[in-house]
Structures are given as C-alpha cells and as structure tokens.
Amino acid sequence: MGKISQIPIRTLEERGKSTFEISRIEPCVRDFSIYLSNIKHRDDYFAFIYLESGKCTITVDFQAITLTPSSIFCIQPGQVHSGNFTPTISAWILLATAEWIPAEFRNLLMNTTILSRPVGISTDTDVLLFRDALRLLQTFEDRNDFLTEQAIRSMFDVCLQLFIQLFQQATGNSCQSNLRPVLITRQFKSLLFSNFRHMKSPSEYASILNITPAYLNEVVKGTTGFPVSHWIHQEIILEARRSLFYTNTTVKEIAYALGYSDPAYFIRLFKRVTGISPLQFRQKYLK
C-alpha cells in the first residue's frame, strides 16, 4: 500500500459547485467514479447515494459496506472512503455542504448510529416518491435561473427530509426524533465532530449546550449506553487510526495534530482505548 503524507480531501468547489450537486448515474452516460473514487479520500460535503440497479461496495473508515438495488446510504464529511461498483450501475447521488443543510436536518445526520449502514426502500410507493423528488430537484438545478432559486432550496429540503425519513423508518428511530435527550445527544455529536481536536473535556461541550456536565453525561449515557468521554475518545482514536492507516505521518505528528502537546499521553490513551499502541496498530494493519 502506497503511503501518503495526508489523506486527500475533495471539495465541491473543485467540482465547480458551491452548495450542492445532484446527478443521475447511468451506464455509458455518466461514470460513477467521478463521484465515488476507488482511491481512499475524504469529502468536505455529505454524499447521499440512492442505488437503483447494479451493485456497489464502499469502504468507509475500515468497514466494507455493500449497497444493493433500491438502497440508500450517506457518507459524512471527513469519513475516509473509497468505492467499487459494477459497470451497469444506475444511481442518484446528491452532494451537499454542511452549511447548505438546515440545522435540524444536520443534527439528525450527525447521528452516526442511524447512518452507519445502508437501508432498503421497502415499498414501491416510497421508491417512486423519492425518485420523482430527485428528478424534480435535478430539473430545477438544470434550469438554474433566478425564478427557480427558491424552488431549488425547497426541493432540496424535500429530498433530504424524504431521505432521513426512509432511514428512520428502516431503523425504528422516527418515534424518538423529538425527545429532548435524543436532541441533546445529536447536538453533542454534531459539536464533537467539528471540535474534537481542540475540545477534550465534557464540560466544554456542556457549556456550549447550556447544560451541566453531569446532565449531559446522564443524557448521552442514557441515549447511547456510553458516557460523553467515551464518544470524545472514540472520535479522537478514529481520526488517529485514519492517519496511521492511510498516511506516513509519525505518531508524534498525529498527536500534535489531534491537540496533544504530550505525545506520550496520546500513546497511553490510544492503547487504553484500542488495546495496542499506535505503532502496533500501524504494523498490524499494514502487513
């Protein structure tokens, strides 16, 4: 495996877009590889995939995920991923920056326990509704004139809401979507995703959420089964594993990049969470 100094990051700006992009992938018409490369990389945007036909395997943060016809999946910003797919694939792909997604939807999408696997669309009615919504959004985007700007905004929100509802229906999470503990947990995870490099204390997150550290810990543990510190450590160690696996960055450099001025402390934390040292992890998975 070739070593790199850092994991490549793809942006929507590179694609000539500022907020979102929607495309229909068809055999011999548009190549899916321009959206889902077999080279491991990160995106700075959300990628929502709806597979109509064919087969697609995506590796996301060390986990191989297979999409089958009539299934949907979301790749979140920052996740290291690559993909392989059959030449006959037909799919829709919707890309969007976090800023373009309304806050209430963004908090739902940051709930990684819901989005960690693809789900199938169970009824023909849902398939037709979702497909028609995507087609209408693409029609508005192709026109791209002043009169359709608001229509694009509204239709994008409809597509996103349908996507989230389909996930919630399949995973049984829809009934809990408005419970305060669930909302707090989602807000915490959203904050964690953006701030784990420089915010390591549960009290820092509690302060932003205007609640006490004890209450935040109680809520998160009650909702997920694990305390706040567990999720902070998991996010840090996941990012460390990405760097160890995909780059030639030294352990000391990784520690500094993750906000640790003392690499020895970072090494102890890594070993406590994973059971092995950073170098042992690199040697084990790069044999």
What's residue 175's pLDDT?
A: 45
φ, ψ at 119 (rounded to 5°): -130, 150
Which pair of tokens denotes residue 146? 């002043």
HSE at residue 56, side-chain half, CA atoms within 13 A, is 30
Count Cβ atoms within 10 A of the Cβ of residue 206 and give its class: 0-12 exposed, 13-18 middle, 19 or more buried.
buried
Residue ranges of the domains in the chain? 9-176, 180-285
What's residue 287's pLDDT?
A: 60
H or E stretch covering 125: helix 124-143
* Percent of the chain clearing pLDDT 70 (strictly above): 89
Q: Which CATH architecture has domain 180-285?
A: Orthogonal Bundle (1.10)
Predicted confidence (pLDDT) at residue 112 exceeds the cutoff of 60: no
Superfamily of domain 9-176: Regulatory protein AraC (2.60.120.280)
What's residue 177's pLDDT?
A: 53
pLDDT, one tens digit per residue, over 242-256 is 999 888 899 999 999
Count Cβ atoms within 10 A of the Cβ of residue 254 and give its class: 0-12 exposed, 13-18 middle, 19 or more buried.
buried
CA 8, 254, 46 angle in degrees (round to 5)?
40
